[in-house]
Amino acid sequence: MNPVVAQLTLRGLLGRRRVFVLAALPVLLLLFSLVLRLTIGPSEDLLESIIGGLALATMLPLLALIAGTGAIGPEIDDGSIMYLMAKPVSRHLIIRSKLLVATVVVLVFASFPVFVSGLLLTQTSMALVFGYTLSTALAGIAYCAVFLLLSVITRNAVIIGLIYAIVWETIVGTFVPGAKTLSIMQWSLAFAEKAGGDQAVRLGVQSEVSPVLGGILLLVVTVLATWYAGVRLRTLRLAGEE
Amino acid sequence: MSVLVLDRVSRWFGNVVAVNDISMTIGPGITGLLGPNGAGKSTVINMLSGFLAPSSGTATLDGATIWRNEDIYRSVGLVPEREAMYDIVTGWDFALANARLHGLAEPGAAALRALTTVDMLQAKDRALSTYSKGMKQRVKVASALVHDPSVLLLDEPFNGMDPRQRLHLMDLLRTMANDGRTVLFSSHILEEVERIADGIQVMVAGRHAASGDFREIRRLMTERPHQYTIRSSDDRALASAIISDGSASGVQLKGSGPATPMGESEAELHVEATDFSVFVRVLPRLARERGITLYDVSPADESLESVFSYLVAR
């Protein structure tokens, strides 16, 4: 990792009130969980609905979209990335540094809130809470790698990423049986299912793939997306060059 | 001593040819890259700085291919035209980040030296977002100088600078050139090119129209008469002698009365010489033979503007 690239990326992601945009969804999740805990009380069904249905399927892809595209997209759009690229620094290293920052942001703004929300909602399923937290972290890394790649290869990364996050991951990946095997969320859900054991089965936390296959697919997508983003960054043409 | 070479380079974007089969060698000293908007100047700078691949031909720095070669940035400093920077950081943080990205042993000292060079020490702790265009331009130059490069590429570097800052940057570029560095800058402000460039590369509509010393380029354009404004003790007699000799295609007397050594009179003689090298030898001889004193002989069209206009018209 290059600390200067990471530092500039972090300041870009969190600076100028962007931190409030990132914090909005997790704060809502935590408030919602707190209200449910105070009004209805802890419930495993609520845990599955709120974490599995809302946080993992909707909040996580959106936060990863903000972090993944925000880590490099604005610099490419305004051309300031030239200052990073006109240096004897490997373009792959630039991508890896930015991915690391985006991942840390997702861990802080998605995985940690998911864990706290799980603690608020669960009664007896601590294992499932840990499983969800792990799923959020692993899916977050893969999402960030994919969205980072999208930002390097297209100027419409946010729109395409939004369609992917909402249409594919949230709707198709949740409800269309065949498409479930091609969903990052489903791959990561395998870890929550495994961790939750019988409790997970009872609550319907079910992935289309095994944890081993899910792990391999997450790893392959993350590595390939990161590598290809580096390749494309080496040949990046900035807007306005033509 | 670094040398940039473009060898039969073309670059097209879809059906649009931005640069068409150009070859140029840019060595130590200051070279001005000149041309109207859309001539392909920025495309050339981008190819020389590794941000654009030639569609055909090669771009090299000291024999090494520039494209996809991050190592060239150890010896290249780039000042891009675009204004966008990392506005969230201060001028100091920006210069320091650039020094650290170069992996310098003492990045703090390098950043301090670069900011001092561009006279931006006083404002170094302000965020870049609060800088004027000229201040941003100077910090951009500082960021390109932190690693003391042997090649400096500047795309329209004088944009947004006030006259004092321009002079300061001109002095800086001259100093760098005198140290044996290769400095290439593009500019549409002709006086700037004329004032500091050792040589120019002229581009017109994607083609390499001319290169070398701009006065030499002008002289080589024999198709067009060279114009001179002359003041002498007897303009009328001198005009007659020049026409009789045949070294000029036309003369025109302006004003009335004899000229004076101090130029109080508005009288002057305009001459269109057909051959520069012949005329500059003939004129003193004709004046001497007729006992005419030459007070002033100045080329009327040797400004870079006229060179440029003529090249564009071609």
- Using pLDDT thresholds of 50, 70 and 90, give the confidence band for residue A232: very high
Within an 8 Å CB–CB cutoff, is residue B61 touching chain A?
no
pLDDT at B224: 61
Q: Which two tokens stand for residue B94?
A: 């920006």
C-alpha closest to that of A144 among A29, A241, A223, A89: A223
Q: What was the pLDDT predicted at B303?
A: 58
Q: Cβ separation of A88 and B102 shorter than 8 Å?
A: yes
Residue B11 has a pLDDT of: 92
Of the partner residues B50, B76, B85, the one whose CB lies closest to the CB of residue A83: B85
- In 3D space, the residue among B9, B49, B6 whose CA is nearest the CA of residue B185 turns out to be B49
Looking at residues A182-194, what average pLDDT do you find?
87
Two structure tokens written together for B119? 């006279």
Higher pLDDT, B199 or A99: A99
Contact indicator for B296, B230 with CB cutoff of 8 Å: yes
Q: What residues in chain B have per-residue pLDDT under 50?
A: none
- pLDDT for position A175: 72
- Partner residue facing A4 (CB), from B50, B53, B100: B100
Partner-chain contact A78 B84, CB within 8 Å: yes
pLDDT for A242? 47
Distance between CA atoms of B175 and B183, rounded to whole angstroms? 10
Return the exposure string of B80-109: e unless at least 16 CB atoms fall within 10 Å of the residue's CB, then b: bbbbbbbbbbbbbbbbbbbbbbbebeebee
Write down the mean pLDDT value for chain A: 88
Out of A135-149, A171-185, B64-78, B200-214, which region has the weakest mean confidence (pLDDT)? Answer: A171-185
Collect all residues with Cβ–Cβ distance below 8 Å to A195 and sequence separation of at least 6: A127, A128, A130, A131, A134
Q: DSSP label at B301?
A: S
Is pLDDT above 60 for A241? no
Shortest CA gap A35–chain B (Å): 37
pLDDT higher than threshold 90 for residue A133:
yes
Are A86 and B16 inside 8 Å of each other by CB?
no
Contact (CB, 8 A) for B87 and B124: no
- Structural domains of chain B, ranges and CATH numbers in brackets: 4-218 (3.40.50.300), 220-313 (3.30.70)
pLDDT score of B176 = 87
Mean pLDDT value across residues A58-72:
92
Q: What is the pLDDT of residue B277?
A: 75
Length of chain B: 314
Q: Is A41 left (phi over 0), alpha (psi -120 to 50) or beta?
A: left
- Interatomic CA distance for residues A206 and A185, integer angstroms: 11
The answer to whether B51 contacts A234, with C-beta atoms less than 8 Å apart, is no
Q: How far apart are CA A176 and CA A172, in angstroms?
A: 5
% chain A with pLDDT above 90: 50
- Set of chain B residues whose Cβ sits within 8 Å of the Cβ of A11: 86, 88-89
Cβ distance A240 to B43 less than 8 Å, yes or no, reads: no
Measured CA to CA, the distance from residue A73 to residue A17 in angstroms comes to 17
Q: What is the dihedral of CA B235, B237, B239, B240, to 10 degrees?
A: 170
CB pairs < 8 Å spanning A and B: 78
SS3 call for B123: coil
User: Do the chains contact at B70 and A87, CB–CB below 8 Å?
Assistant: yes
Tell me, what's the pLDDT at B150?
92
B contacts of A15 (beta carbons < 8 Å): 88
Q: Which residue of B has its CA nearest to A232?
A: B68
Q: Distance from B73 to chain A by nearest Cα, in Å?
A: 5
**What pLDDT shows up at residue A146?**
95
Interface of A with B (CB under 8 A): 2-5, 7-8, 11-12, 15-16, 78-80, 82-91, 234-235, 237-238, 240-242
Taking CA–CA distances from B11, the nearest residue in chain A reads: A242
> Strand, helix or coil at B187?
strand
Q: Which residue of A has its CA nearest to B146?
A: A87
Integer angstrom CA distances of residue B133 from A86, B45, B81, B130: 21, 21, 11, 10
Look at A82 and B74 and tell me if their CB atoms are within 8 Å.
no
- Mean per-residue pLDDT for A78-99? 93
Residues with Cβ < 8 Å from B109, sequence gap 6 or more?
none
Q: Flag whether the ipTM exceeds 0.90.
A: no
Confidence (pLDDT) at B223:
57
